[in-house]
A = this chain, B = another copy of it.
Amino acid sequence: MSDDLEVHGRTTYRHGDLRGALLAAGVEMAREGGPAAVVLREATRRAGVSPNAAYRHFADRDALLQAVSDACLGLVADRIETELDAHPATGDTVADARMQLRAVGLGYIAFAREEPGLFRTAFSVPDNLQSAAEPRKAGIRGRTPFQLVGSALDALVAAGVLPPERRQNAEFLAWAAVHGLGMLVIDGPLRGLDDHMIAFATDRLLDMVDRGL
């Protein structure tokens, strides 16, 4: 019996961090097959535990999916932060603010292309305004994608590019545009276009946002 446990790298009756293990397994399955591939029993199998053990940590399969989805949103945030780092400030306040919003969009689309399964999973669960800024949806630096868009818009206002009266709710517009492109790129009509065309479309979309906000 204790042999069985050790097979799965477990020497004690207790797992230690089953919740974490299930979450990690869920993310891995989501990566491979999107939200539908997040299967509770399979997660317990990968964690080396009986199916019902999951119910000590998640109310039901939906709760697991919700947690996986939140983790995916955090990964989106991380990818955006990476893109922000790749475009460091130059000192030109106006150009920097513009680039900041652009970087958010680029990171968003890049994540959609690099991890379509995680991207789909991130947005497969109903959300709302209240929870859009909850810490469990945040990346490693503690900011959610929604907050990252907001910061970029604040910078645009501070730089005098975006008139303050247009700031309110502007994240919805920017987000909608970029999010829509992301969806179209991974399993909408734009699926299968080559990198060059995607990059071109992204560029034009960001121009549109920049000009039209």
A178 close to chain B: CB less than 8 A: yes
CB-CB < 8 A to A180: which residues of B? 175-183
A39 close to chain B: CB less than 8 A: no
Partner of A128, one of B177, B182, B189, B208: B189
Partner-binding segment picked from A4-12, A74-82, A119-127: A119-127
Looking at chain A's contact residues, is the secondary structure mostly helix, strand, loop, or mixed? helix
A188 close to chain B: CB less than 8 A: yes
**Copies of this chain assembled into the complex:** 2
A204–B169 contact, CB under 8 A?
yes
- Measured as residues with beta carbon below 8 angstroms from the partner, the interface class of chain A is 35 or more
A207 close to chain B: CB less than 8 A: yes
B172–A184 contact, CB under 8 A?
yes
Q: How many angstroms from the CA of A177 to the CA of B178 in the assembled complex?
A: 7
CB-CB < 8 A to A191: which residues of B? 126-129
B146–A189 contact, CB under 8 A?
yes
CB-CB < 8 A to A181: which residues of B? 172, 176, 180
Contacts A173-B204, A207-B212, A211-B212 known; 12 new A-B pairs at CB < 8 A: A127-B187, A127-B189, A128-B189, A129-B190, A172-B181, A172-B190, A173-B177, A176-B180, A176-B181, A208-B208, A209-B212, A210-B212
